[in-house]
Amino acid sequence: MKAIVCTKYGSPDVLQLKEIEKPTPRDNEVLIRVYAALVTPADCAFRKGEPFISRFFSGLQKPKFVPGDEIAGEIEAVGKDVKLFKKGDQVFGSCGVTFGAHAEYKCLPEGEVLALKPANLSYGEAAAVCYAGLTALPFLRDKANIQKGQKILINGASGAIGTFAVQLAKYYGAEVTGVCSTQNVELVKSLGAEKVIDYTREDFTKTGQTYDIIFDVVAKSSFSRCKNSLNQNGIYLTTFPSPGVMLQMLWTSKFSWKKAIFEATGLRPSSKKAIDLIFLKELAESGKIKSVIDKHYPLEYIAEAHSYVEKGHKKGNVIITLDQ
């Protein structure tokens, strides 16, 4: 089968399209014919081996793995002990630390983060839910305990995680302010944001407005910059575990009413992520959330997809498509 193989850390050019052996499902596994996957900032980080902590999952000295986490496709075969799925089922899910989504086939245990694909979503749209939805949901619901009527600002509202964060915040009844560039203002408004700040024209930390939650999904700010924009007992959420953030988490947990919080959402137990995936599926099927897709790339153009994602200006998600 065709697959992307990464055998050294570096620029997008280290990604190679090769023929490798097609996997065979074990007794508790399903074999998925992959039709869509994603390229995310996390994929770029694992490819570069930066931050260094990522190498504990991909290899300390050099990587040797098929990259890619989020996956959508059709089950081609099932192991003899599989009860939840059957051949022909259209599914979506997450490969987790086993990676492997950037290939024509992938085996996953039936008890992992896997569910039937929302009937009203394309394969690419479904894969997008696995990444951004499973990231934004635990931040907002579990870490921030978002409540109806609260004011939330989402920095990076037009990106993959940001577009889902806006919609989920609206689902929970919050008043949403999005921050994005000029060209994405109308997109963020269309997702439900009551107010949108164009960061090329205005600094949200200097408007005098305060919020119950500030969710920085692009790691372009800091707790120090944002704390004056937080209400009493306000929460600053970030998706990037910088040393400064980790120190602020420790300090604010002991000495401040305002909190800085990071969560490694990808490392949560599969059982919890699987429950959340079903919840997100139901929201998607009822039309309460939708995936925003920027570009599609065929598998052989994976390096171009990485280069585009690394520029940091994508709208929503970048999809890798495989032949159906």
Q: Is the pTM value of this prediction over 0.85?
A: yes
Whether 161 and 215 have beta carbons less than 8 Å apart is answered as no
Question: Does residue 91 share a domain with residue 203?
Answer: no
What mean pLDDT value characterizes the chain? 93
In this prediction, residue 60 has a pLDDT band, given cuts at 50, 70 and 90, of confident
Question: Does residue 113 share a domain with residue 196?
Answer: no
Question: What was the pLDDT predicted at 50?
Answer: 85
What is the percent of the chain where pLDDT is above 70? 97
Whether 122 and 36 have beta carbons less than 8 Å apart is answered as yes
Question: Does residue 176 share a domain with residue 231?
Answer: yes
Question: Does residue 123 share a domain with residue 63?
Answer: yes
For 215-228, write each residue's pLDDT tens digit: 999 988 889 999 99
Q: Where among 265, 290, 305 does a domain terminate?
A: 265
Question: Does residue 188 share a domain with residue 173?
Answer: yes
Question: Does residue 112 share a domain with residue 7?
Answer: yes
**For the domain that residue 213 is a member of, what is the CATH number?**
3.40.50.720
Question: What was the pLDDT predicted at 251?
Answer: 67
Q: Where among 227, 249, 265 does a domain terminate?
A: 265
Where are the alpha helices (H) located in the chain, listed in sequence order? 41-48, 55-58, 123-128, 134-137, 160-171, 185-190, 223-226, 243-255, 270-285, 302-310
**For the domain that residue 31 is a member of, what is the CATH number?**
3.90.180.10
Question: Does residue 205 share a domain with residue 81?
Answer: no
Question: Does residue 120 share a domain with residue 10?
Answer: yes
CB crowding 239-250: b at 16 or more within 10 Å, else e:
beeeeebeebbe
In this prediction, residue 123 has a pLDDT band, given cuts at 50, 70 and 90, of very high
Q: Where among 244, 265, 286 does a domain terminate?
A: 265
Question: Does residue 119 share a domain with residue 142?
Answer: no
Question: What was the pLDDT predicted at 324?
Answer: 62
pLDDT at 52 over 90: no
Question: Does residue 137 share a domain with residue 71?
Answer: no
Question: What was the pLDDT predicted at 184?
Answer: 97
Structural domain span for residue 296: 2-129+267-321
Question: Does residue 73 share a domain with residue 9?
Answer: yes
For 169-214, write each residue's pLDDT tens digit: 999 999 999 999 999 999 999 999 999 999 999 999 999 999 999 9
Strand partners, 311: none
The domain tally of the chain equals: 2
Question: What was the pLDDT predicted at 303?
Answer: 97
For 29-49, write each residue's pLDDT tens digit: 999 999 999 999 999 999 999
